[in-house]
Every structure is written in C-alpha cells, then in structure tokens.
Amino acid sequence: MNFKKILPQLLTLVVVILVFGFFSYNAQVNMENRGITFGYGFLSQESSFDVQFSLIEYDGSHSYLRAYLVGLLNTILVSVIGIVFATIIGVVVGIARLSSNYLIERTAAIYVEFFRNIPLLLQIFFWYFAALRALPLPEKAEPMFGVFFLTIKGFFVPAFVWNNLDIFIYSVIAAIIAIFFVRAYAKKKQENQGIQTPVLLISIGLLIILPLLSFLLGGVNASIEIPVIEQLSKTSFTYKGGLKLPPELISLALALSLYTATFIAECVRAGVQGVSKGQKEAAASIGLTPNQILKLVVMPQALRIIIPPTTNQYLNLTKNSSLAAAIAYPDLVLVFAGTALMQTGRAIEIVSITMLTYLTLSITISIFMNWYNNKIAIKEK
C-alpha cells in the first residue's frame, strides 16, 4: 500500500469526523440543557401565525408544514416572475449591446454597468422604501387603461373568474402534447423525404383551436372581474375584486429582474459574439436565407454558449429571492426560518429544512443542466 496516499486521506477523514462529532456532541448537550428534543414532529402542530400573502388557503389554524408550503410557493412565484422578466430584459439588452447604433449600445452598456454594480439588497430597498412609497393612495390613483390601479397599497389588476377551469387546462396540455407529436412527425418527414412542414403555423393553430374548442364545447367560460374601490373606514380605502399584487412582491420582482437581467445580457452578448463570422459566411455561401442562417446556424451555436451561464443566473435569482426577508415579503426564509423559528425555537431543524430545500432546488437544476449540456455538446471525433 502507498503510505503517502493513505495518510493525508486518513488525516482529513479524522479531522472531519472530529469536527462533526464535536458539533453534534455540543448540540446534544445544549438541547438537553434547554429541554428540547430533536425531531421533526412539530411540523404537524398548529402554527397560530398569519401570513400576509399566500397562494394557497392558509391561516393560523393550519400546521407548520402548511406554512412551509406557503413560503415555498411564494418563493417559487417571485422567482418565476423574476426569471421571465429578467430573460426578456436580458435578451433585449444583450442584443442592444451588439447594435451598430452607438446610442443604443451606450444606453444598454450604461444600464448594465449601473445595475450590476449596486448591491441587490440596496435596489430592493430603493424600490420598496423610496420609489413605491411615492405612489398615490388608493382613492387618488389614476386608473391605467381603465382597469389597472397602481397604488401605494399594491397593484390591483383585473382577474379572470373561471368556470370549469380544469377542462381548459387539460385542453392546453393536450395542445402542447400534440405540438410535440407534430414536430417529431415533421422532423421524420424531412429526414426521410426532404419535405418541410410549416410546424410553426400548425403549432400556433393548435394552441388557439384546442382551448377555443374547450370554450365552445367543454362548457368553459371566463368572466373578467375589475377591481372596484371600497371604503374601509373614513380615511382608509382599498380595492375589492380582481387580483392584488402586494408592493413587496412588485419591488422584489422588479429589483430581481433588473439586477439579473444585466448578467443575462452579458451572457447573451458573449454567446452571439462567440459564433465566428466564418460560420455565417459559410451558411450564406450555400444559399441559406438570413432567417435560416439565424435559425439553423447562429442560434444553435450561440445557445450552446448562452444557456449554461444563464441557468446559473436563474439559480442565483432563485437564491437571491431569499432577500425578501428584508422587506417582509413572506417567502420561505421569512415565513419558515423567521416566524416559525421564533415561535418554536427549533433552530437546527428549521434551518436545516430551509437549507435542504434550496440545496435540492439547485442540485436538481444543475443535474438537469449537466445532462442538457452533455446532450447539446458538439461531439468531435
């Protein structure tokens, strides 16, 4: 046996075990002294605290597990909103940075340099405490397009009221599955016979027709509920009906998407610049149209460079959404690692569950990304 290889490993292992042993021994002693027993049984107890904003039904009589779910869903909600907007802004700004127009290029560059050099927390505070506080009170708000009300108490938008929502959702899912089949069929047809099928048109048609059918035949109907002002007391007004987006959610989503968009813009720019000019020229010389060049030659190569760092940014955005705790948006960290921890005093269990949740989220996405990367990697001989 090679002594030089065994010894350092053994030493590391011993040190790690000792450190863990030391910590867990102390934790045991400390918990015994405080009369706490370790365990996750408290999750089913009644939580008896309220949450400002939740996607599922929740009040104090529900369990801690339910509170955890509320927090998790709120985290996912703000992350999804942030990711959508960050991607849109990021792609636009990234392309603007490549523009031949000096003014556009500079504007995009100033935006990127400015927003990514200011801490995210400061931006969240700025939107929440300074910018959104300048909005009008509910009774003084001017409607936008007659139905949107942007007030200091939140953004009130019209909501859909559905009948038989499930049938509508099934029809959309059916449309998406059908599109996949059409694509596979079109690809096979092109490979075997060289005939191209207008996939895009068929897809759009499917997406419109199937949900429409569900309206006509499936008994689905939707009406729009417009927020109406209501007086709570002499000086306090609010809007009833419709959907209310709380200012915490707006400022958090705004800050997250503006901040992350700068990084996505840089990824997009690097990706498009990474496709060599020769590729475009070669494609043009074999007679492809500019649209085909973009679709078949430039984008596949650019996406290969763009997607991995962009996914990283999505992950960062999700993790950064935990800054919600600073402005009291009820996300996972605030609801669970904040309020629930204060009430139960179970630091180890709650912090470990919170960390494990984020860890699972990141590891799942990175495993998926590794798989995707391997799939699209250029296979050289």
Task: Give the interface segment with another protein, choosing from 52-60, 144-152, 174-182, 353-361 (CB under 8 A).
Answer: 353-361
CB of 111 to another protein, least distance (A): 12
Q: Is 283 in the site for another protein (CB under 8 A)?
A: no
Task: Give the interface segment with another protein, choosing from 6-14, 58-66, 231-239, 275-283 (CB under 8 A).
Answer: 6-14
CB of 338 to another protein, least distance (A): 8
For another protein, the closer CB: 19 or 55: 19
For another protein, the closer CB: 129 or 180: 129
Instruction: Among 63, 107, 301, 344, indicate the residue that binds another protein (CB under 8 A).
Output: 107
In Å, how far are 74, 146, 254, 331, 373 from 70, measured between CA atoms? 6, 32, 21, 8, 33
Instruction: Among 44, 45, 99, 163, indicate the residue that binds another protein (CB under 8 A).
Output: 99
Instruction: Considering only residues 122 through 181, tell me which ones interact with another protein, judged by CB under 8 A.
Output: 122, 125-126, 129-131, 133
Binding site for another protein (CB under 8 A): 5, 8-9, 12-13, 16, 22-24, 26-27, 29-31, 33, 99-104, 107, 113-114, 117-122, 125-126, 129-131, 133, 319-320, 322-323, 325-326, 333, 337, 341, 347-348, 351-352, 354-355, 358-359, 361-363
